[in-house]
Structure 1
Amino acid sequence: MTLDILRSGYAVLQDELAQEKASALGRLGRRLEDALAALAACPREDSDRETRRKLVEQAGYALWLFVVQRESCGFNDSVRMMRQYGVPKEVFARMGPMVARQPTQSGRTE
C-alpha cells in the first residue's frame, strides 16, 4: 500500500513538471513570435539603426530562451523550428543572452 502511494505521488509530480514545461514552452514561443513581429515591423532600410539593433538583440534573446526550453523538453530539431517561425539569419546569428551595456562617462550606453 505504501509503495502505491509513493508511486502515485511520483506520477503526480511528473505530471505537474510536464505541465510546467509545456506552459513555459508556450509562453516562450509567444515571446519569440512577438519579438519577430516587432522586428518585422521595423524595416531594415527605413529604420533607425540603434532601434533595429535592439530589436534584433531582443529577438535573439527570445530565440535562445525558446531553443533552450525546447531542448529541455526533448525537442532537438531547432533548424526546422526556425524555418517554421521564419527566424531571420541576423536573429539566429545574435541568438544568446543579452549583453549588458555599460554606460559611458557621457551617460550613453555602449
Structure 2
Amino acid sequence: MALNLLQSGYATLQYEIAEERASALGRLGRRLEAALTELAACPRTANPDRKVRDRLVEQAGYALWLFVVQREACGLNKIDHVIKLYGVPNEVLARMGPLPKARPPA
C-alpha cells in the first residue's frame, strides 16, 4: 500500500512537471510570435528607425533563444522546424542568444 502511494505521488509530480514544461513552451512560443510580428511591422531602413529595428531584432533573437532552450528541455532538439514554422528571418537567427548586459549610463 505504501509503495502504491509513493508511485502515485511520483506519477502526479511527473505529470505536473510535464504540464509546466508544456505551459512554458506555449508562453515562449507566443512571445516569439509577438516579437517576430513586431519586427515584421518595422521597415528595413537606414534612418533613425534602424536603431528601433536593431532593438527588435535583438529582442526577437532573445525570444528565439528562450524558446529553443525550453524545447530542448522538453527533449525537442531540432531547430530547423521552428525556423521554418515561425518564418524566422536570418538576421534574427544570427542574433539568437541572451541579451547583452545593459551598459551603465555615461
TM-score (norm 1): 0.91
**Is the counterpart of residue 60 in structure 1 residue 56 in structure 2?**
no
Structure 2: which 5+ residue stretches go unaligned?
A: none
Deviation of 1:46 (Å):
7.0
d(CA) in 1 for partners of 2:100, 2:63: 13
Deviation readout 1:14-34 (Å, 9 max, x if unpaired) = 000000000000000000000
- Name the amino acid aligned to 1:64: W
- Name the amino acid aligned to 2:41: A
Deviation readout 1:28-50 (Å, 9 max, x if unpaired) = 00000000000000011376111
d(CA) in 2 for partners of 1:18, 1:103: 40
d(CA) in 2 for partners of 1:81, 1:97: 18
d(CA) in 2 for partners of 1:104, 1:75: 40
Equivalenced residue count is 105
**Is the counterpart of residue 76 in structure 1 residue 51 in structure 2?**
no
d(CA) in 2 for partners of 1:28, 1:58: 13
SS in structure 1 of the partner of residue 101 of structure 2: coil
d(CA) in 2 for partners of 1:3, 1:60: 47
Structure 1: which 5+ residue stretches go unaligned?
A: 106-110
Match of 2:99 in 1: 98
Percent of aligned positions that are identical:
64
Match of 2:29 in 1: 29
Stretch moving more, 32-41 or 71-80: 71-80
TM-score (norm 2): 0.94
d(CA) in 1 for partners of 2:46, 2:95: 21
d(CA) in 2 for partners of 1:29, 1:62: 8
When the two chains are superposed, the root-mean-square deviation of aligned CA atoms in Å is: 1.2
